[in-house]
A and B are shown apart, each in its own frame.
Chain A
């Protein structure tokens, strides 16, 4: 391999600034999408376990509908496909307020919400039925049982698979570069385009992703030990695909 490395391109010129901006955009995009995904996932995951059939069906429909189509196709659909159908004034408003970022957050959040839903469902289903019955027999309503007993236990149990899914979300935020959100991978490509230094730029981007993933995994392992309920051991499987 005859290639002269020149690592200076990463801190001379605007490269450093671009990388920092890219990292911040990736974090912002992932954090917002994560909040949306967690909300959708907890809601639909809980609904899939209730005995009221229409609610369970609606939640199952949401999950199967969104997770079986590639994220890239969802991004194209929300970014290129939907806006032309909207009223003119709303379109103008969207284009003035960064539609790339909105479409990216929405696609990422809704897609991963469907995957979170599966994780949360298997978490709830791993809780023994007697917990539920005991809660009901103390006089709690079904809603209270879910809010006060089932969900708090389930959220603790699912920390490992949910961490895995959160890291998938973070990594998948790189797909937003296809609809020109200026996140980390996009900025890596930009450095490459300006300096023609592909390896240095890609190495920087790759290392940032690796460090982010390792840090989050380490923090979540600590959190898991912190919030564990003594004596409760249950294994929860992750999302299928």
Chain B
């Protein structure tokens, strides 16, 4: 065992592979952070859509969620890998493909979180808002969503952990995230045990740290 391989390639693994600053587009965080933000925006639309009264909005939103929750993420990534060049008639770099796949896929799960968050707001709040003369849209925007967002925060942190772990799958289509960076170094140095153990530790620290933070938020935000 020779752990000096980590030190020799530390900058490539962490700065390029994990953070995403370097000569080319890559990085676990550079993919995970925009994916959760854009996925959440789309997730709000999906979540609201599932609660809509009009069936022509509710049914497509439900089908969207059921479809993406029934298909492996690897399959979705391959779909985007093949379909985007045909649809856009131009090759998209791995970053664009991976980001699109993660946003679309995560939106199904985030939509469920948004829906649960909205449903957790007591019905009396809606009735009180309506009684003061707010319209349906105003009630949603000014009364329900701000409270729902607060209730969603722990679940969102947890979903970000899932997403962070899932971004390792972007390495399958050649995107240079932490996992791919370790593979690249391994092809040169042939030190699989040390390298994969090292990236496992990095993922572990991030995921465990955030799960503790999510638990802390859950305790702090829950009405005492």
Q: Which residues of A contact B (CB under 8 A)?
A: 1, 3, 64-65, 67-74, 76-77, 80-82, 84-85, 167, 171-175, 177-178, 185, 188-189, 192, 198-199, 202, 205-206, 209-210, 213-214, 240-241
> Are B168 and A70 touching (Cβ within 8 A)?
yes
Interface size on B, residues (CB 8 A): 42
Main SS of chain B's interface residues? helix
CA–CA, A167 and B204, complex, Å: 24
* B70→A209 contact, CB < 8 A: yes
- Alpha-carbon distance between A214 and B203 when the two chains are bound, in angstroms: 32
Contacts of B193 in A (CB 8 A): 77, 81-82, 84-85
B10 beta carbon closer than 8 Å to chain A: no
The verdict on A68 contacting B196 (CB below 8 Å), with A1-B86, A73-B179, A171-B73 known, is: no
**A178, B172: Cβ atoms under 8 Å?**
yes
B165 adjacent to chain A (CB < 8 Å): yes
B37 to chain A, nearest CB (A): 18
Q: Does residue B208 face the partner (Cβ distance < 8 Å to A)?
A: yes
Tell me whether A72 and B179 are in contact in the complex, defined as CB-CB below 8 angstroms, given that A77-B197, A174-B72, A241-B211 are known contacts: yes
Q: Choose the segment among B12-20, B54-62, B74-82, B130-138 that binds chain A (4+ C-beta atoms closer than 8 Å).
A: B74-82
Q: A77-B196, A82-B193 known; A185 and B207 CB under 8 Å?
A: no
What chain A residues lie within 8 Å of B73 (beta carbons)?
A: 171, 174
Give the A-binding residues of B (Cβ under 8 A).
1, 67, 69-75, 78-79, 82-83, 86-87, 158-159, 161-162, 165-166, 168-169, 171-172, 179, 182-183, 186, 192-193, 195-197, 199-200, 203-204, 207-208, 211, 214
- Contact A68/B207 with A81-B192, A175-B169 known, Cβ cut-off 8 Å: yes
Interfacial chain B residues near A241, Cβ < 8 Å: 158-159, 161-162, 165, 207, 211
Say yes or no: A206 contacts B166, CB within 8 Å: no
Enumerate chain A residues within 8 angstroms of B179, measured Cβ to Cβ: 70, 72-73, 76
Chain A residues within an 8 Å CB radius of B208: 64, 68
B75 touches A209 (CB 8 A): yes
